[in-house]
Amino acid sequence: MSITTFILTVIFALVIGTVADRLSPFSMPGSWVGAIVAGYVGTLLGPYLFGTWGPVVVGYWLVPSLIGAYIVVIVIGGIRKVFG
């Protein structure tokens, strides 16, 4: 992985994580770092659960990645709310 690919992946994860955080009823802890983690885990989880469809950005499928990140934010935000 080149440095350019790494930077683009981090930017993509940040955007996906931020959008998922804004759409979900819970908030992701950790500010922008939490958004990057949610976005990256969502890019791995989404295509595994929902398949590979939709537009591809930086080698990741946009729609399944967003759905996966949304699920990550809801799960982490729910755990945070329950255990406080």
pLDDT tens digit string along 15-57? Answer: 999 999 999 988 888 889 999 999 999 999 999 999 999 999 8
Domain holding 57, by residue range, is 3-83
Task: Indicate the pTM of the whole model.
Answer: 0.90
Q: Count of domains in the chain?
A: 1
Mean pLDDT, range 52-66, rounded to an integer: 92
Q: What is the rounded distance in angstroms from the CA atom of residue 14 to the CA atom of residue 12?
A: 5
Mean pLDDT, range 1-14, rounded to an integer: 92
Q: Tokens for 17?
A: 């994580």
Report phi then psi at 56, rounded to 5.
Answer: -105, 130
- Residue 68 pLDDT: 95
